[in-house]
Amino acid sequence: MINIDLTNYLGQPLELSVYDGIGRKVMQTRFTTLESAVVEVSVRELMLTSGVYYVRIGTGKEITAKAFVVSR
């Protein structure tokens, strides 16, 4: 399980996406208004294999991306 802290985006519309190391989108969620400061992403439910992945957070005004590693 990966917990993503989105405290800075509370009350805003938000798009959260996860991409694999070669740029394929493996998950996307849209929030009309973000109401929770922490979003959980299940590595098991997404069936992510070992490798590097990227979380992309878009608000319409800015885009932030962070990398994370899955090691099994």
Residue 8 DSSP symbol: G
pLDDT surpassing 90 at residue 69: yes
- Residue 47, classed as helix, strand or coil, is coil
CA distance 40 to 60: 22
The pLDDT assigned to 65 comes to 95
pLDDT surpassing 90 at residue 72: no
Greater pLDDT, 45 or 25: 25
- Residue 7, classed as helix, strand or coil, is helix
pTM: 0.85
CA distance 15 to 63: 9
pLDDT surpassing 90 at residue 30: yes
